Every structure is written in C-alpha cells, then in structure tokens.
Chain A
Amino acid sequence: MTATVPRPSPARPALRTLRDRALRWAELVTTPLLPADYLDLVHPLRAGADLRGRIEAVLPETRDAATVVIRPGADWRPHRPGQYVRIGIDVDGVRMWRAYSITSDLGRTDGCFTVTVKAIPGGKVSNHLVRRTEPGTIVQLDQATGEFCLPEQRPAKALFVTAGSGITPVMGMLRNHPELTDVVLVHSAPTADDVVFGAELRQLAAEGRIRLVEQHTDTAGVLDAAAIAELVPDLAERATWACGPVGMLEALEEHWAAAGIADRLYTERFRPTVLVTGEGGTVSFTRNGTTLEADGATPILDAAEEAGVLMPSGCRMGICYGCVLPLREGAVRDLRTGEVTTAAPGDGVLVQTCISAAAGACDIDH
C-alpha cells in the first residue's frame, strides 16, 4: 500500500456491510431492477455506485487541447502523480473508453481532478472531449492506474523528455513534486502556441524550478536522441521519464540501451505499436452467439465492440490484462510482435483481445 492511498478507517467496513445488507433487502422490493438503478437517478456519484464522474468544466489550453475538470464519485481513490485514468464517455451515443493522464494537483480542495486532452485528427473521443463536451456530463471512470510515477526515493536529478500531449503525465508530476529541485524538461511541440501548459512551464523555468528546453518542430525540426544528449550533457546521471509518440520513445530506448543506462529510462505510451498484421478471419463468440468477420489489423476487442458485443476491456494497449478471454479454437496474432497463438478444440488459451487480431477462424469463450 502506498502512502497516497488512505487506509480505510475501522468504522467504514462495518458501515459498508450494513449498507450492502440493506441493499440486498431493498432488492426484494425493486426486482428485477436493482436498488442502484433507482439510486442512480438521484445520486450517480454516491459511495457504492459504479465509479463515475461529472465533468465540471472544460478549460481550453491551446487551439486543440483542453483540461477537463472531473468531480469523481465518492469511491474514487487519490492517484499517484503520473498515473492515468480510463474514462468512458458516450460519443454519438456510443460508450467509448480512453486513457488520459491526470494533470491536477493532489492538493485541490474542490475534490476534483483534471485530465488534459489533445484533440488528435480523426480522434472521436479526444475531439468530443475538447470541443463538444458540456459541463454536467456524467462519465464512467476506472480508478487511476499506471506505473509512470516517481519512485518513493526521489531522484536527485531528473530529465523529462516529452512531445505533444506527452507533457500531461509529466505536468502531473511537476505540479505535485516541488521537492524535485534539479529538473530538465525537453519538450517538443509544433509551435510555441501549441505547447500545452506553455505559460505555466515557462513560469516554472523563470522561477528556476526547472530547466526548460522547448523545441518548436515546425521551424526547428524534430530532436533526435543524440541532440538531446548534447543538450543535456549530464544525461547519464539523470533518471529519465519520456512520454510521446511511439517513434520517439523507441529512438530514446535504443539510445539509452546503447549507452548502457536503459534501466534509468521510464517510458509511457498510450497506444500499442502495431507491428505485424496478416489475414483476418471469422471470430465466433461461443456463449454470446455473435459471429463476425475481422480483418488481420483490427484488435478482436475493437471488432467485437463494433458488432455490439459487450467486452471486458482495460488499458487497450496490452498491459493490464483486463480484456483476456479464453481462445477455445483457432488462431490469433499479437499485433505488437506478430506472434501467433493457436488453440486446439477444448483448449482455453487466455488471449489479450485488445492487442490480438484474428489469424484465421477462431472461437472465443464469451
């Protein structure tokens, strides 16, 4: 248990047991609905409800980024700076889940937290959040999660390398860890106006809390790993956190590995790298009865959701194992590695549906 998660007081479990018992009795009155179905009408953010949040405000940051202020339900547990939260929001009537880094100060007194979203071209959810979301909207939440955080033993010297919306988890850390005194931030964005939190970062630099290196890629081009090493001569002495496009992260990983300091680099990615695609196939969900045609580049999770199947899901990038289902027969391909997993009839090989595509016909137990 980390210091940031409060230990439940001894009185709470007793109260909770009492509440659960009362709800079980209430179910006799409400069947076939649940007491929660009625309670949700009046208090969707109450303790014991499915975890939700209410959007209190959407504050523009740049021309295509905004900070979304969310009041979480009573059961929300405080996050660790650098973590992300999965948010389920209805876009054109369809529930969609995405992960966003939490950017707010843990010391906020209003009980809200914030995520900062950059609208990506063609991105259904990000555009909806940045441009069309009204305050008052109820969203679904998961508890904050993720390992892109500072260790208990704070590094004496830190380097953050970010690009675009990759600044968001780092902003979460900078706002909450004033104890970091020797910080270099190398951040890339197309122009000075595109730098999310630009004013705040420049203020931190002016105060001397961080050394800020802004790279405006429209005019100055993209920084490669070697250029960063040149900009930060004491790089080997620093613990480094990097967040940005997959290409950038891979280049950094390569460079750090070559320098023999791979263990000093922590990276965060929001999307799996699709490496290998192949022939798709027919996916059958044995219990649900749905059968669909999926191509070899689409994760089974996405294809199934598209067909209206309710699927378990989590991080959507192959990390959390929240989406695993047994493959009873057939073959699936791991989109990150190309590795094919096969199951003979009667098997129950657990596969991650968020990063697995059909590789021929397959039967999934769901």
Chain B
Amino acid sequence: MTVLQKKTDNPIEHLTPEDIELIGKELDEIRQGVVDSRGESDARYIRTVIDVHRKIELGSRAVLLASGFAPAWVVGTIGLSIAKILENMEIGHNILHGQWDWMRDPKIHSTTWEWDMASPAEQWKHSHNELHHTYTNVIGKDNDLGYGIMRVDEDQPWTPMYLGQPLWSFINACFFEYGIAAYDLELGAVIAKKQTGDPEFRRRAKQVLAKIGRQVRKDYVIHPLLSGPNFLSTLTANFVANVVRNLWSNSVILCGHFPEGVETFEKKSIDGESRGEWYLRQMLGSANISGSKAMHVLTGNLSHQIEHHLFPDLPSNRYAEIAPKIRDLFQRYGLNYHTAPLPQQVGSAWHKIIRLSLPNGWLENTTARNLPTQVVKLWKMTTGKPRVRRALLREQAAMAAA
C-alpha cells in the first residue's frame, strides 16, 4: 500500500468536491440524530458496564486469594483479564474520549477519570484524542501508525533493521500499556533530540513513573501479599491478566487502522482540509471488525472503528445503531467499507507488519520454488553495501511488475 494520493487507482477519484461536501452534511445529520436522542437508557448502559466491571474485578481478585489452588488460578485469571479488558476498552477509552461528559456526572467524566493502565489519563488524552484522532493515518503526523518504530508504508525506505519488526511488534503487543506510556511521553523523539533534561518532559516522566509505580505495586506487591502463601501464584495470575489485556487491546488497535487496504495519507494532503474531507479521511483510514455483541463490547466498540473515527465523542453503545446508515453512505458514494471478522483483520494486520519488514516486493515475489534464491538475495540486501541493496531492490520491483 502507498499513500492514497500516490496511488494509480485512487479510490476517491470519482468524488467531486460537491459529493464530499454532501457526505459531510449527511454525517453531521447522523451525528445530530444521536446527540438529540442521548438519554436515560444510554446512561444506564455505561453505569451497568461500570458496575459489571467492578463486580467481576472484585470477584476475580477474591478468587485469586486462593490462587494456589489451580482451578482458582484459572477462573481468577480469566475473570481479571475480562475485567481489565472491559475497564480499558469500553469504559476507560470511551470515557476519556468524553463520550459520557454529557451526563454531567463528575464520577464518569473525561476530566476526572483515571484508568488501569501505565499511561496517565491526562497524557493519553493528548496523544490520542488530539493527535491521533486529528491526524488519523497521515504519514509522519499520526504516530499511532507504527508508534514511530515501525515501517508502515512502502515509501518509507527499507533498512535491514526492519527485519526485526515482527519480533518487536510482538514484544510491544505483550507490554502494550508501557509502549503506550512511552509513546504518550514521546520518549523516542525526546531521546533522539537529546531533550531529556527538559523540565516539562521531566515533569511528565515523573507522572508516568508515579502511575506505573502505583499500578505495579497493586498488581505485583499488594494483591500477592494479600494472598499470603499464594503470593507467587497471584503475582503470575495478575501478570498473565495484564498480558492478555495488552495483547487484546493491541490486536483491536491494529485492526482499526492497519489491515491491508486501509488508506494512508500524505502530510500536505490535509492542508486546508474541509469538514467533509476530514470525514472522508476517517472513512477510508479505518477498518471495522464484524462479530458478536460480546465481541463489540470487549473491543470497547472499536470494532466500529469507522463510526468511532467519524464521531469519536458519541456514546459507544450507539455505534452499532448508526453502522448500517454509514455503510449505506459508503455504498452510495462507491467507497469501500472495510470490515471483516477479528481473526481475518488481525491476520491481515500482521501480514502487513511482516510484509513491510521485508524489502518492497520481496514477500510478493517469493514462492515455495524460488524461496532459496530469494533468501540469498535477502541476505545480500541485509549484509551488502547500499549499492548492492539498491540494485536488488530494483530487481524485486521489476519482478513484481512482471
């Protein structure tokens, strides 16, 4: 894939500026319809989810006090994983988006909420709500695309370093919450620019460390201690629950913007972008996951990523209701509503991670028969001088074209 603007078969070429404006208008109307009908049943929904989360968490933690007993460990770990997933996705992510601010309940409000996550809510809101949701899928602007450590586009030059991309992507997925915390801190950029002495950075880093301290103390010290003789088994249960939650949220987020076929955009394309054009970018830059109601809730309704990106501050329980209207809009304007079941979307996203970890064209050109020669070429590209690499890259491009 390459940025939309450089594609030969630009998927929005058929749209006139008037079309785009009309799309914007229709979407504004759909949004207003939900805003006007927000009410008691929505409020009951989020309070129920919060209530259920707290009860599952309390129950699981109680069961884990006896975690030395294997069935208790299994039940408690499953329960705690589910609780943590609910807390991060349907509750935390969505409250921090301000989806429930309209209720004016200070206990369920984007400005007062804190979540079970390494990154402090305040910092995450900035990098997520202000940067990612504004600059969605704009290469060089939206760091959610690969979190600044991955090769996410063919046009990014390949270097041998990227061969490690699948491995570190997997490690990042396992410890996703810490990756997010580092990313919200812009740790990579700060280190690269040697700005670690900056007082503002130090203040924020301290905040993150304090938050991580509280989180680690709770899951890996206090609760294990409360379990007495079951210290170690509770510790492992909590560790596993955190990793399960991390893998799950990482998968959901990969599915949102990373599957093959989701569009990316170049920086200059968003200069002077109209409301309609902004909507259009959100429509083409997101992908949905199809599945059961339980799956939607566990993904925090980010399975409706397209709807979420169009209307990040509408209550998540309403995305399912507007999805058919959105899909119909895509169809009428000849656009691709990207949706598929979870395994397929996760597979597609990982396929892309692996494909882009290799030189352009390599994976496509490789078959069972030519595998040995392709591997030799890859070895040469990895170890050879830049001149050799360029020559071989040209060869791969020629092979792909043929």
Contact = CB atoms under 8 A, between A and B. Distances in A.
A binds B: yes
Interface of A: 28-33, 37-38, 41, 90, 92-96, 288, 305, 308-310
A310 B109 contact: yes
Contact of A305 (B41, B55, B58, B104): B104
B223 interface: yes
Contact of B51 (A31, A41, A95): A41
Contacts of B223: 29
A92 B105 contact: no
* Most-contacted residue by chain A among B105, B109, B112 (CB, 10 A): B105
Given A90-B43, A93-B40, A310-B112, A37 B218 contact: no
Given A93-B39, A95-B104, A310-B112, A38 B54 contact: yes
Contacts of B40: 90, 92-93
Question: Top 8 A-B pairs ranked by shortest CB distance?
Answer: A93-B43, A308-B101, A32-B114, A95-B104, A92-B39, A93-B40, A31-B214, A93-B39
B147 interface: no
Contacts of A94: 43, 102-104
A95 B105 contact: yes
Interface in B18-75: 38-44, 51, 54-55, 58
B131 interface: no
Nearest to B218: A31
A29 B217 CA distance: 9
Contact of A308 (B41, B102, B107): B102
A32 B207 CA distance: 14
B397 interface: no
18 contacts: A29-B223, A29-B226, A30-B218, A31-B214, A32-B116, A33-B54, A37-B54, A90-B43, A90-B105, A93-B39, A93-B40, A93-B43, A94-B43, A95-B105, A305-B104, A308-B98, A310-B109, A310-B112
B104 A308 contact: yes
Interface of B is mostly: helix
A67 to B, nearest CB: 24
Contact of B217 (A28, A41, A310): A28
B215 interface: yes
B106 interface: yes
A28 B216 CA distance: 10
B196 to A, nearest CB: 27
Contacts, number: 64
Contacts of A38: 54, 58
Nearest to A40: B107
A274 to B, nearest CB: 22
B222 A28 contact: yes
A288 B41 CA distance: 28
A251 to B, nearest CB: 36
Nearest to B315: A93
Interface residues of B, number: 33
B65 to A, nearest CB: 12
B111 interface: yes
B115 interface: yes
Interface of B: 38-44, 51, 54-55, 58, 98, 101-107, 109, 111-112, 114-116, 211, 214-215, 217-218, 222-223, 226
Contacts of A309: 101
Nearest to A90: B43
B134 to A, nearest CB: 13
Contacts of A93: 38-44, 102-103
Nearest to A366: B111
Contacts of B107: 37
A32 B101 CA distance: 19
A235 B109 CA distance: 53
Contacts of B215: 31-32
Contacts of A90: 40, 43, 103, 105
A305 B104 CA distance: 7
A94 B38 CA distance: 9
A309 B104 CA distance: 7
A41 B116 CA distance: 19
A325 to B, nearest CB: 14
Contact of B222 (A29, A37, A92, A96): A29
Contacts of A96: 104
Given A30-B218, A37-B54, 12 more contacts: A28-B217, A28-B218, A29-B226, A31-B218, A32-B116, A93-B38, A93-B42, A93-B44, A94-B102, A94-B103, A95-B104, A305-B104
Contacts of B222: 28-29
B214 A32 contact: yes
A122 to B, nearest CB: 18
A90 B43 CA distance: 9
Nearest to A308: B101
A312 B118 CA distance: 30
A316 to B, nearest CB: 14
Nearest to A29: B222
A96 B115 CA distance: 26
Contacts of A33: 54, 114
Contacts of A37: 54, 107
A309 B223 CA distance: 36
Contacts of B211: 32
A80 B222 CA distance: 47
A62 to B, nearest CB: 27
A28 B217 CA distance: 8
A51 to B, nearest CB: 13
Contacts of A32: 114-116, 211, 214-215
A288 B111 contact: yes
Contacts of B217: 28, 31
A308 B111 CA distance: 10
A90 B39 CA distance: 10
B108 to A, nearest CB: 10
B55 A310 contact: no
B218 A310 contact: no
Contacts of B58: 38
Contacts of B115: 32
A69 B176 CA distance: 51
Nearest to B109: A310
A37 B115 CA distance: 13
Nearest to A132: B40
Contacts of B226: 29
A310 B106 contact: yes
